[in-house]
Amino acid sequence: MKSVLITHADLPLGRRIAKVLWHDPKVLRILALGEGAIPRVFNSYRDGVPPRFVYERIDLARQRSVSELFRSKRMRVLGVDSVVYVPRHGAAPEGAPVVAKIPARTAEARLVLHHAQESRSIRSLIALGSAFVYKLAPSNANQLTERSELDLDPEVAPELRSWIDCDMLFNAEFASARLRVLLLRVPTVVASGGFVYLHPGLEGTAGLRVRPAGFDPLGSVISDKDVARAVRTALHTDMTGVFNVAARELLPLSVLGRWTRRPCIPVPGPLLAIASGAAAQFGGERLRGRLEGPYLRYGMSLDTRRAAEELGFTPRYRVGVARAGDGVMRVEAVAI
């Protein structure tokens, strides 16, 4: 039986994972953390004495608040032995840099990892990472295994840089005898209703996006339900290391944008370069990340054989398109 701490349980992926773990008979207690108010979906989970599900508001990017949480009596009473690190994602505000311009996502990962190592009771940490950390060669068909090179180019956009930094933080702890660290690299996550997460270009509110004209890269996708299943599978194994997880489907950027209410307008490359340069000049780093980046030009397909063979995880949801109640075609995930 596991007692699990979940970060960012107020964000869509965290909510989905918390729901899956709530219905997992092998999970004894859940401590869900979030920045916002408790999502209404969790209201019914808090019944019972002692409660099986506890929600706590916390700013994970602040050293003091994280430190107090991990040393609190509540942590000891709940007997948390596993941490599911769900990164900041979706339309969540980026948050001001805390120390020396470190992005909030990186600061959170560092603090959670550090305190998990320091804790006496925590034995495993399951982290969600992004598959956009890989270096993409000029090709529409980059086949990426867990051993593929990461994009360590110093000019990489800050959005990607924070993912890469988080990835490397967890990578450095795989050999730890004290804490089992397992990193799941997930591609673009799609959810029923046309929602999309963890794609550096498409994440955020719906609306128009741009892409370089003449490029339409193919990319792996995965359903949010499969992400939650992968986390649950990872939680109950004793494996460590990196695992790529993805659905069987691959979608071109133009189609993915159309299906998720974020149509991508092709713009000539030189114009994009000028706009990107201007964005960098005037401090619009987030905008710059959306105007350039190898993922807008070169495709990628994740090799998920390791997850299937060693972790025993195979996707159970297929990603397609369905007509919604308002008559619009949107992305949908259905069980195989």
Partner 1 sequence: MGGNGKPPAAPPVEVALGSNPFVDALSGEVDPLEAWLAALDRLAVKGEDVVPLRPQLVTPSAAAATPAAQPTPIAEPRAPDVELPLPQSALARLVGEEANQKLASLLGRIDGWDRFGLSRSALAQAFPFFYALYKLYFRVQSADHAKIPSTGPIVLAANHGGLLPFDGAMAVLDVLLHTEPPRLPRAIVERWAGTLPFVNVFFARVGQVVGTHENFARLLGEGEAVLVFPEGVEGIRKPITQRYRLQHFHVGFVEHALRARAPIVPMAILGSDDQAPILFDVKPLARLLGLPTAPITPTFPWFGPLGLLPYPVRYRIVYGEPLCFHERFDSEAALDPGLVRALANQVRRAIQTLVDKNRA
Which 10-39 positions form the footprint of partner 1 (CB under 8 A)?
15, 19-20, 23-25, 39
Q: How far is CA 16 from the centre of its chain?
A: 12
Residue 152 binds to partner 1 (criterion: CB under 8 A):
no
Interacting residue with partner 1 among 56, 210, 215, 280 (CB under 8 A): 215
The interaxial angle of helices 104-118 and 63-70, nearest 10 deg, is 30
Name the minimum Å distance from CB 316 to partner 1: 5
Token output for 204 = 């955020």
Sign of the four-CA dihedral 179, 62, 110, 40: positive
Interacting residue with partner 1 among 77, 118, 139, 152 (CB under 8 A): 139
Backbone dihedral angles phi then psi of residue 81, each to the nearest 5 degrees? -120, -5
Count, residues near partner 1 per rule CB under 8 A:
76
Residues 239-298 that bind partner 1 (CB under 8 A): 239-242, 249-252, 255, 269, 298
Q: Is 99 or 328 the residue whose CB approaches partner 1 more closely?
A: 328
Interacting residue with partner 1 among 81, 146, 165, 285 (CB under 8 A): 146
Name the minimum Å distance from CB 200 to partner 1: 20
Residue 138 binds to partner 1 (criterion: CB under 8 A):
yes
55-84 burial by CB neighbour count: b if 16+ within 10 A, else e?
A: bbeeebbbeebbeebbeeeebeebebbbbb
Residue 73 binds to partner 1 (criterion: CB under 8 A):
no
- Residue of 192, 205, 201, 194 lying closest to 219 (CA atoms): 201
Residue 314 binds to partner 1 (criterion: CB under 8 A):
yes
DSSP per-residue codes, 6-70: ESSTTSHHHHHHHHHHHT-TTEEEEEEEESSSPPGGGGGGG-TTTTSEEEEE--TT-HHHHHHHH
Residue 206 binds to partner 1 (criterion: CB under 8 A):
no
Q: Is 65 or 171 the residue whose CB approaches partner 1 more closely?
A: 171
Residue 210 binds to partner 1 (criterion: CB under 8 A):
no
Q: Is 21 or 69 the residue whose CB approaches partner 1 more closely?
A: 21
